[in-house]
Amino acid sequence: MEYLVTMTTHVPDGTSEQAVEDIRAREAARSRELVAQGHLLRLWRPPLQPGEWRTLGLFAADDSGQLEEVLASMPLRVWRTDEITPLSPHPNDPNAARS
């Protein structure tokens, strides 16, 4: 099953730039692992306000429990809130016709 996840990150006040850089590097590495495992399919950056961190991600998981495990494994989750939208196939999906 696929899920659209809106991930909004709020870095706590007083967090050092080094701590932010470290967790972002770990997040990037974990994202690459999730891609290799077939869980992270796409990422998008919507228009942002200054200081705002928000990402849209397309994830694949067997069920909501597995999705939660995937999201919880991402380092930025300590500062992030996730809005999850389960997706189902659309009968007019142009990608389905190519399969």
Q: Is the dihedral of CA 89, 34, 76, 48 positive or negative?
A: negative
Cβ-Cβ contacts under 8 Å for 79 (sequence gap 6 or more)? 9, 10, 11, 12, 23
Whether 6 contacts 56, CB under 8 Å: yes
* pLDDT of amino acid 17: 93
C-alpha–C-alpha distance, residues 90 and 69, integer Å = 26
Give the pLDDT confidence of 5-32 residue by residue, as tens digits.
999 999 999 999 999 999 999 999 999 9
* pLDDT of amino acid 98: 60
- pLDDT-derived band at 94 (thresholds 50, 70, 90) equals confident
Global pTM reads 0.89
